[in-house]
Amino acid sequence: MSDVEARWRRVREIFDLAADEPSESWPATVAREAGSDEALRAEVLRLLAALQNDSIDIDRVQVDAGERADGRERIGAIVANYRLVRLLGQGGMGAVYEAVRADGAFDHRVAVKLVRASRGGRELAERFRRERQILAALGHRNIARLLDGGTTEDGEPYFVMEYVEGLPITAYADAHRLGLPERLRLFRQVLAAVEHAHGKLIVHRDLKPANVLVAQDGSVKLLDFGVAKLLGAQDGDELNTIAANRPFTPEYASPEQLRDEPVSAASDVYALGVVLFELLSGQRPYDVPSRSPVAVLRAVESDRPLPRVVASAELDSILRKSLRPDVATRYRSVAQFDDDIRRFLAGLPVLAQPDSFAYRTRKFVRRNLALVTAASTVILGLVAAVVLMFMQSRRAAVERTWQSTIATVTALEASGNVQLLYAGLAQSDSSFARANALCQTRPDRARVTPICTKVTLDLGVSAFWHGAMPQADTLMQQAIARARAAPGTSQATIAAMMSSLAQVRDAAGDYVGAERLYREASTLFTEAGANLGPERIGMLGYFAICLERQGRLAEADSLVQIELLYVAAPAAGILLHAAAIHAEENRIDLARAEEQRGEPAARIIIDDTMTLHHVKMAEVVGSLRLRLGDVDGAIAELRGVLGTAERRYPADDPRVAEIQDALGDALVAKHRPAEARPLFETALATFEKRFGAAHPQTVAAKRDLDSVK
């Protein structure tokens, strides 16, 4: 260590020591520690004194994003023969002024927009000349005319526009207390103007109430048409391929615009949807904590449904269709949007349909498309066949096909593909609707109902597994309602379903709701005289976890103890689960204790019955051990379960790959990368084949493999 380093270290030591004490004792402490080294003493004391200097606080770095110049300073200035007389508004993009002809040649009021843009300014005049014809084509009584544009002597882009006196459409509607039909008719004027511009291949890109003014006589004027295009236009700019590199307002921007993706007429449709939403409800569709594009995008793309703000279902559908994040399902054109509003006003059926089940599950399905397609083909075929045969009254054939459906479901369940099966079913709105219809309308519904109930419940389980808690909740509630309505359903069956729903609520963080359901289910089990079978044991174990998560460890523990008295084996899974939770929360001692209690019993199940659930359990045991620092134990466990899984499942089964991946991780932790490598390679090949290259598991496996290369 160099002298400088040694001295510095000493400074730091004394500083830390003294700074932990009250300031009165600093001089004494520093004097004691520094001894005769006067310079050292002085330096530490000076640093300590700096601690008390609270006039300086190192805060965050702020970047001044642009001139702070107050727009009012420019009043009186002359821009392109116009004298700026009044500031009409200013925002991040620039300021807008009311202006008059400077030479007083004639009384002509215009609006001049000075744009604060650091780039593109120089070419603007040139571009304006080039675009003049297109802009001239925008002659529409509802579009404010763009008269001139260019750059000032300082290189500042400007636009001269027709001066419009009016209120933003939302403020106008409120000021005049317009009713719903009037608001819609006003909005149709806006749509007509935008449609006209789209016909000339000009997209507005920044539609918002501030750009949609209504004059005193009730006529609409759209501002800034062509401005966005001029500010960012590039050669070869076409309606559908415009690079999004130009100003927009996040709250009204379409998701594609927020993502900086190509913008099309549908992007204006979206912005118009936001404006309509606001016009009808006084609020914006999404409650966004910050105005940053990514924050808005996350709100838009979240699974949170749009609030319903209008009484009419049709109008609600129209709003939703205009606001679909996915361009493909949005109104394709302003004309379609307008047509639906016209139909609504005329009392005709609208083309927009309420969000379907399929639509709601689509996000999930899109992520797992390859998997789902295969499964949906199977189930679609079956359901379609059944419906067809019902219609043909071929009862015997129906019976046979139902049998084969059930057989397929059972087979898929046994092979672990049940998730796919139900995901596939969920994807198909029509098949789900048909299954529903079968449950409700067929005369022999007593036969069909249990199957539909099971389908619904399993869809709920599928949603739960994929983390879609609201959907899982709805589906399970439906299943429970259906099971209750069906004659002859046992109390124990309903209780088991309630236990599943409780798990969903628990996972969604609704501990109170979960607890209420667990207690209800418990009562039902008791009333049904059900003994402590696996379902009830399982439920109480999960109930224990729910309590444990709330910090009610004593209650949770007593439940687990009671269960253990009756049946050791099934509760083992719960204990391991609890152990995993402990480990997750870094309560290593508790985790270890739970694991030791649960492990011997779990071992029996794992070794004897190697079902899907138990493979997963063994994997949990292995991963748990790794997390607890028992690398050797993890390796042994995972090797064991891998052997079983390989015998039981096809070599390229994803579950085999998952275990291979986990074992690889453990081997890497053991510093045996050479052994991990072939495992990662096989796992990667499987994931790639089954899920595709972009799937998170594939990517993760690739990363694992790269790390040992």
Binding site for another protein (CB under 8 A): 8, 12, 15-16, 19, 46-51, 53, 55-66, 68, 91-93, 246-250, 260, 290-295, 298, 694, 696, 699-700, 703
Q: Which is nearer to another protein, 231 or 448 (CB)?
A: 231
**CA separation (Å) from 480 to 190, 514, 606?**
48, 15, 32
Q: How far is the CB of 346 from another protein (least distance, A)?
A: 38
List the beta bridge partners of residue 160: 112, 148
Q: Which is nearer to another protein, 19 or 380 (CB)?
A: 19
In 368-490, which residue ranges form alpha helices assigned H by DSSP? 369-391, 395-415, 418-427, 429-441, 445-465, 469-485
Q: Which is nearer to another protein, 121 or 424 (CB)?
A: 121
| Cα–Cα distance for residue pair 337/657, rounded to 1 Å | 48
Q: How far is the CB of 35 from another protein (least distance, A)?
A: 21
Find where tokens 């295969």 sit.
374
Q: How far is the CB of 214 from another protein (least distance, A)?
A: 22
Q: Which is nearer to another protein, 253 or 578 (CB)?
A: 253
Q: How far is the CB of 53 from another protein (least distance, A)?
A: 5
Q: Which is nearer to another protein, 9 or 394 (CB)?
A: 9
CB 652, CB 689: distance < 8 Å: yes
Q: Which is nearer to another protein, 19 or 508 (CB)?
A: 19
Q: How far is the CB of 11 from another protein (least distance, A)?
A: 9
Q: What is the dihedral of CA 560, 564, 565, 567, to 10 degrees?
A: 130
Q: How far is the CB of 690 from another protein (least distance, A)?
A: 17
**How many residues make up the chain in this entry?**
709
Tell me 286's DSSP state: S
| Cα–Cα distance for residue pair 593/609, rounded to 1 Å | 25
Q: How far is the CB of 47 from another protein (least distance, A)?
A: 5
Q: How far is the CB of 290 from another protein (least distance, A)?
A: 8
| Cα–Cα distance for residue pair 314/308, rounded to 1 Å | 11
Find where tokens 């642009």 sit.
66
Q: Which is nearer to another protein, 92 or 305 (CB)?
A: 92
Angle between the N-to-C axes of helices 418-427 and 357-367, in degrees from 0 to 180, rounded to the nearest 10: 130
Choose the catalytic residue: 16, 20, 107, 206.
206
- Locate 249 and state its tokens: 């307002």
For every residue of 505-546, DSSP letters joined together read HHHTT-HHHHHHHHHHHHHHHHHTT--S-HHHHHHHHHHHHH
CB 29, CB 13: distance < 8 Å: no
CB 88, CB 110: distance < 8 Å: no
Q: Which is nearer to another protein, 145 or 208 (CB)?
A: 208
- Locate 215 and state its tokens: 């004059």
CB 497, CB 457: distance < 8 Å: yes
Angle between the N-to-C axes of helices 38-51 and 26-34, in degrees from 0 to 180, rounded to the nearest 10: 150
Which distant-in-sequence residues (6+ apart) come within 8 Å of 246 by Cβ?
A: 205, 228, 229, 231, 232
Q: How far is the CB of 184 from another protein (least distance, A)?
A: 28
Q: Which is nearer to another protein, 293 or 640 (CB)?
A: 293
| Cα–Cα distance for residue pair 239/330, rounded to 1 Å | 17
List the beta bridge partners of residue 114: 95, 158
| Cα–Cα distance for residue pair 579/557, rounded to 1 Å | 12
Find where tokens 């709250």 sit.
251
Q: How far is the CB of 303 from another protein (least distance, A)?
A: 15
Tell me 628's DSSP state: T
Buried b (16+ CB within 10 A) or exposed e, 369-395: eebbeebbebbbebbebbbebbeeeee
- Locate 3 and state its tokens: 């002298």
Angle between the N-to-C axes of helices 445-465 and 418-427, in degrees from 0 to 180, rounded to the nearest 10: 100
Specify whether 237 is catalytic: no
Q: Which is nearer to another protein, 39 or 63 (CB)?
A: 63
What residues are labeled active site?
A: 206
